[in-house]
Structure 1
């Protein structure tokens, strides 16, 4: 009922701006096909078959073991499209069922059995040795159709979230002035005064390094925030794996965060990552690889924080963090980052606008997380 086929082998000289689209691991995310780092090759060199609706493509070889087994189903006609050499595909009448099966823990266990100590790949022989309990074809179709609809709903929410992120990125470009501009491209009504270029050190009363203490099991009250506890996407405090500082807290009052404090990662691959403390995050102490900027009351903390999400800030970090060893930015260097600053009223207007946008992100992300959790729970129940 199911057959398989392999992908296209091509060389760098075969790549061109248009031509035959080659699906690779970068085009597979969350069990869906996406546009990402697309590659096109000269159609004259193509000697593999075109994908069809219902085909399930899967990553079978990759430098990263974690990517082996990533998969997606072709849901619409894709003319002049093949899979790459590090991919395989299954073709049959039960593609939706197979796509769901490949999302189960049972499949991941089979993949890990097949992976060698050094070779990150699964072969056709490996697939033939995998054993799964499956129902009759009619029930397979019902299960497959159910997960197809669930995947469609998840993809719909993901697209809404991605659209909001693109929207925010555009607003960050429009609502903040560039270094050489006196005003931004877009402003709220009734604001006409020029913006003043100020250094971050002028907006903060102090810059302080964090607590030199290891983490211990969360005591239920005192939270400890480290670089890894700041979510890369939302920049919020990730509270899934809470810890407490392993130190006598009677001497750590200076490391308690206050409303409006902004943290900056000072070293490593995450240098430049920022976080805005809010009171709802609870009693939080910050760790040693973070720098706290305490923003003065005459400036809006959320306005300042949103500046750390702009392309100009990214450029500043990229240039400033260059070191002979590990990348880093110290407190003195952070203090010279320049931003355009309007009146406090306009700062608050912009800060509130982005807060509401971020709250909408959080709502959509929460819905998406619940749907993904629901899918995982149903995969456990509907597959043996």
Structure 2
């Protein structure tokens, strides 16, 4: 490969053909660490202005400071080196003494391009310190990477700015949907001790009743076929599904990390599809519905509903997660045994109203899942484009 090809990205805007050049941060930006103003937490005044420190580059809090267009780079406290905190900011911000302040030189660099170039750079070789990695200001200015001409920088900067804006819109929509769901869980189920929810479908007027989980269906506690007997297990993904709490990462599940052989399946505690699985030891209150018949381990209790709606029970248990967890008590390892589980009570309406509520939350959860997938896809696209559009 000739030198010119090594110094151009895989993907670029038409009209640009020049090779990229190696440049130091000091050649591309001025440092304004004098804008870093330390202040104690007790002195911060609540307001509408974002506050940035080492972690604040990732998470906004409140404060006051100056106006401007800058790139903020964490000085220390960054543990995730794959996503080292670097952020473009525009407007009024507060910056403390744990965030370096850079501003691209107008004649050589574009702020938005420079921010993405820094995020694309492996920052680890420049860090000093032990567990709390630190990026020294002088060292930061010596970081070098390849850059194109200013017009191409501006194009790339605008492109990623638009992509980040789209990602932010999806993040906001997802956050709004989750807040909506949390609010509706509080309003479409009665408050503790009450018999009527604040909001309900108009055709239903009867009072809700307190019922034990054991009255809603059959309760099963899972088990683990002998792990030392390798014949109980298979690496074949077509094997039988065996769910543990770490597998539960979505509200409807049809797969697991480990699979049982026919022999293991014969020894396992099994439940039919459309049951409700609820973790009851250690990580209490992770809930899911199985879309296919499954086996599960002893950290999980399952409800096989009888004339009750699975998705209603799932939603009710999500709403009551904190109350359910409190039943475990203050033991070294939190546990809710089968007897206690069976006696746990939730407010329930008629089966017909359960179905209506279950269907409503199923549609809402499907919408949330769709937005999460779109957001994940956009973030993966951005990661791929950063690889292809930078040298």
Query: Are the equivalent residues in 2 in contact too, given 1:267–1:326 (CA < 8 A)?
Result: yes
- The one-character-per-residue Cα deviations of 1:273-328 (angstroms, maximum 9, x if unpaired) are 1112123xxx5432333222222x21101000001221x431331x2234342333
TM-score where L is the length of structure 1: 0.82
The answer to whether residue 312 in structure 2 is matched with residue 303 in structure 1 is yes
Residue-pair matches, total: 353
Larger Rg, first or second structure (1 or 2)? 2
Structure 1 Cα separation of the partners of residues 38 and 302 of structure 2: 51
57-66 or 359-368, which moves further after superposition? 57-66
Structure 1 Cα separation of the partners of residues 342 and 74 of structure 2: 46
What CA RMSD, in Å, does the superposition of the two structures yield over aligned residues? 2.8
- 243 and 136 in structure 1: CA distance in 2 versus 1, 3 angstrom threshold: farther
Residue 294 (structure 1) aligns with: 304
Alpha-carbon shift at residue 177 of structure 1 (Å) = 1.0
Q: Give the gaps of 5 or more residues in structure 1.
A: 44-48
Structure 2 Cα separation of the partners of residues 201 and 358 of structure 1: 26
SS of corresponding position for 2:94: strand
Q: Please point out which of 333, 343, 364 is paired with 1:357.
A: 364
Structure 1 Cα separation of the partners of residues 196 and 39 of structure 2: 50
Alpha-carbon shift at residue 237 of structure 1 (Å) = 4.0
Q: Please point out which of 139, 144, 168 is paired with 1:131.
A: 144
- 264 and 25 in structure 1: CA distance in 2 versus 1, 3 angstrom threshold: farther
Structure 2 Cα separation of the partners of residues 306 and 64 of structure 1: 35
SS of corresponding position for 1:349: helix
Q: Please point out which of 98, 109, 112 is paired with 1:86.
A: 98
Q: Give the gaps of 5 or more residues in structure 2.
A: 1-27, 228-232
Structure 2 Cα separation of the partners of residues 247 and 87 of structure 1: 57
Structure 1 Cα separation of the partners of residues 48 and 387 of structure 2: 41
The answer to whether residue 116 in structure 2 is matched with residue 100 in structure 1 is yes
- The one-character-per-residue Cα deviations of 1:99-118 (angstroms, maximum 9, x if unpaired) are 222332xx2x3325525433
Structure 2 Cα separation of the partners of residues 246 and 4 of structure 1: 62
Q: How does 1:269-348 map to 2 (within 5 A)?
A: 270-279=283-292, 284-295=294-305, 297-310=306-319, 312-317=320-325, 319-348=326-355
The answer to whether residue 259 in structure 2 is matched with residue 249 in structure 1 is no
- 382 and 18 in structure 1: CA distance in 2 versus 1, 3 angstrom threshold: closer
Structure 1 Cα separation of the partners of residues 389 and 254 of structure 2: 31
